[in-house]
Structure 1
C-alpha cells in the first residue's frame, strides 16, 4: 500500500499552525498564542530554538553597528534576553567584524527559555514532528500532513506560518522561490565549542594575529583550513570559547545527499580547526572539544517570491516602507566560496525596514513565511537573515496569523495600520 493512502493516526484542526520551532517560529507561536489563537507548533527536533540552540550561541541584529549602537529589535525578543539574564546565562559583546553588539548566551539554557515562554503562552508543542505534505485548494492550504513517531498527523489550519528556514511548506504548496539551482547560496558552517581554554591568554590574541597564524598555517600546507578569517569568541561559561570557522561550499541544503555530505565535511573541518587552535594559538594548548553543532549551520537555501522582494539597494540605501513590520541595520555578510567573507555596511546608524509583503507569498493565501526564507535577493538576504530580525519577523507573523485566523480572513487582507499598532503595543521597534 502507498504510504500516502494510509489513514493518519489523528486529524486535528487549529487556528494557527507554525512549522519550525527556530528563532522565527518559536517567536511566532508565542505571539499568536498570546493573541488568543489556538496555536500548534511542530518541530522536527526535540527542543526549540533552531539555529539559535543547534548551531550558534549569539543573537545578532538587535543593535546597529558603529560607535553609537541603537537597539532596533524589541518585544518578545526582549523577554528571551531577560530570561537568559535571570539565569546568568548571557553577555553582550562587540562583533568580531564590527557588525554590531551580539548577545551571547548558553544554548542549553535557551532551549528551556524558549519552551517555557511558549508553554506559558498556551502553545501546543509537538516535537519530533516533520511536515511532509501539503494539500492546496484554490491557492489556499487546506491540510498539512506531518510524519511523527505515532504515525502520520493531518492538520487543518486556518493560517500557516512557515518558519522552517528552508521554506518547506511554501515549496510544497507551489510557491515560487529561488535556491541553489538559481545561483550561489552562502556557505554552510559546523560550529564547535572548546573547554579548558586559558581565557587570559586566548583573549589577548587579536583578530589580526589569529588570521595571520591561519594564513601562515595554510601557506605551510600544515593544515587544511578552507576559511582563513574564522572567529572564536568568549561565552558565558568559564573556560569555554565558541567558534565560527568552518566553511562548506557549493551545497544545495535542500538536496539530502549534498546536505549529508556537508555534515560529514563540516565535522572533518571542525577537527582540523581544533587541531590548528591547539597547536598554533596561545591559550588553547590544553583545550578540549566540548561539542559540535547539532547540525551544520545553513545560512541560505530557498528564498520565496513574495508580494515584494527586498533588494540589495533597499538595504544599502536604508529604504523605509509603509508596511514595515521590523527594521535592520546589519551589514551584508556574504560567506561565499572563497577563503574570506564579503562585508558591506549601511551608513553609520542607518537601518532599513522589512516590509510585511516580504512575508506574504505571491500566490498562496493563508500562508505567511518568517525567518530566512522571506522574499529577498541574495545580497539583501545576507543582511536580513540575522537572528534578531528572524525573531522580529516571527513576532509579526504570529500576530498577523492570529488576527487573520480569528477574523476569518487572509494575512494579505489585514489592515497594515492595525498590525503595526499591535506590534508597537507589544514592544516591537518599527522606526
Structure 2
C-alpha cells in the first residue's frame, strides 16, 4: 500500500464492494444486494453503465447467432431489458451484422434503469470516485482506497469484485495479466449518432452496398481507416447509431496514447459522418448528433485466473463442470486492418464460462467480472459481449454473496450451491 501525505477518511465498511459499474459491475452489485448482503459500488463517472451507457447502444450475446437463435442470458439482465421496454426505450434488432440478434436501447434511459435497479436492491453508490490503491493483508484484499473531490477514503470490504474493465484492482494486488505489451489487442472505436436521418431510406441501404461504397472511399476523397462497420436504427425517431471508426495500435493503459486515441476517434467520426451525409441515401439532411462519452476500449488487461478460456474452448463449444454462464457469440476481432475477423461456433452451439476464469491467481477474496476475465486473445474476442459481461457479473455477485453468507473463501464456495442459486435467480447455464 502507498504512503499517503493526506490522512485517509473512512467510509462505511461493506460486505461486497464492486469497482466499476459497467454491464458486469452493475449486474454484480444488483445481484449481491438482492441476495441480502451489504453492497457498495464505486464508479468514476457520475452515472452507471460503463460502456453500455458511455459508448454502445446494443446488448449482444443474449441470443446465439444462426438460423435458430436461442436465449442464453437471463436473470438480473432480464430485469434490465424489461425496464427498458417498459419505458419504450428498447427494440429487438435482427442479426444484421453477424453477432446475432441484438437489443438496441436508448443509453440515456439505461442510465436511469441501472440506477433504479441498484437503488431498489439497496446498493450504496459512490460516484465520481476513482480507486487509486488497495487495502490488503498478504494476498487477501481487504478493501480499496478511493480518491474524490474531498480527498482520499478507505472503503473496507469482505469481498471485492473488480469490474473495472481494465483489471485495475487485480493489477494492484499483483495478479498476473496480459496486455498490449505482450501482444496485439483489439482496436478502439469512438461511436457517434446521426440525427435528422430519413430512417426509411437509410434502412433500405443494404450492408453490402454500404461496405462497397466504403471500399471506394479513398477514390472519393475520404479517409476511412475501416472499410466496413455498422450503422443501425435506434428507438429514437430520426436517429441512427454507428460502430465504424477504428483507432489502431493503441495501448489503452498508456496516458499519452489514450489521450491521442480520444482525439483521433473524434476526428475519424467527423470524417465518417461526412461520408454518410454525402454518399449514403437517407443522410442528405442529417447531422452528427454526438460522440460516445469516451472512446470504446475492447481489450486491455486480461488476468490469469485459475483457468484460462482459450480459442479451442470457444470453437469446440466446450462445457465445464464449474459453468457460471454460457456464450454462443462468434470470435469478433477488430484487428488493425480494414475489416473484422469473424469465426463462428458450430450452428446453435454455446460454450461454458467457468467460475475459475473469475478467480484471479495470487489473490484471495477478489473476483473479476467482465472483459478483464481470464481468457486468451481470441477467446476474449467472443466472450466480451455485454450479455456475457452481465452474466459474469451476476455470477460474481452471487459467489460474493454466498462467500459472505457461508463465511468462507471465494475458492471454497460450493459450485453446486453457486449454480443452483444462479438458476433460481433466472440464469441460463445449459
Bin of the TM-score, shorter chain as denominator length = over 0.9
Q: Pairwise CA RMSD of aligned residues?
A: 1.0
Q: Name 2:131's counterpart in structure 1.
A: 131
Partner of 1:289: 288
Q: Counterparts of 2:273 and 2:25 in 1: how far apart (Å)?
A: 33
List gaps (5 residues or longer) in structure 2: none
Q: Counterparts of 2:95 and 2:70 in 1: how far apart (Å)?
A: 14
Contact 2:135/2:156 (<8 A) preserved: no
Q: 2:142–2:159: 8 Å Cα contact kept in structure 1?
A: no
1:43 Cα deviation (Å)? Answer: 0.3
CA deviation vs aligned residue, 1:241-286 (integer Å, no higher than 9, x gap): 0000000011111111111110000000000000000011111011
Q: Distance in 1 between matches of 2:172 and 2:423?
A: 33
Corresponding residue number in structure 2 for 1:14: 14
Distance 1:107 1:341 in 2: 25
Cα distance in 1 for residues equivalent to 2:201 and 2:142: 58
> For this pair of structures, how many residues does the alignment match?
429
Contact 1:15 1:406 in 2 (8 A): no
Q: Give the aligned partner of residue 395 of structure 1.
A: 394
Task: Report the counterpart of residue 269 of structure 2 in structure 1.
Answer: 270
Q: For residue 92 of structure 1, report the CA deviation from its aligned partner.
A: 0.7
Q: Secondary structure at the match of 2:249?
A: coil
2:4 & 2:220 partners in 1: Cα distance?
53
Measured against aligned partners, the alpha-carbon deviations of 1:71-127 in whole angstroms (never above 9, x if no partner) come to 000000001000000001111112332221000000010000001000000000010
- Equivalent in the alignment of 1:57: 57
Secondary structure of residue in 2 paired with 1:141: strand
- Say if 1:24 and 1:391, in contact at 8 Å, map to a contact too: yes
Q: Distance in 2 between matches of 1:95 and 1:126?
A: 37
Q: Structure 1 CA distance, aligned partners of 2:327 and 2:137? A: 36
Task: Work out the CA distance in 2 between the residues paired with 1:32 and 1:126.
Answer: 16
Counterparts of 1:176-195 in structure 2, within 5 Å, are: 176-195=176-195
Would you say the 8 A contact 1:9–1:150 is kept in 2?
no
Which aligned pairs between 1:163-178 and structure 2 lie closer than 5 A? 163-178=163-178
Q: Does 1:216 align with 2:213?
A: no
| Structure 2 match to 1:70 | 70
CA contact (8 A) 2:143 2:158 kept: no
Matches within 5 A, 1:5-404: 5-218=5-218, 220=219, 222-404=221-403
- After TM superposition, the score normalised by the length of structure 1 is 0.98
Partner secondary structure for residue 13 of structure 2: strand
Residues 211-247 of structure 1 show CA distances to partners (whole Å, capped at 9, x for unaligned) of 11111122x1601100000110000001100000000
Deviation at 1:3, TM superposition (A): 7.6
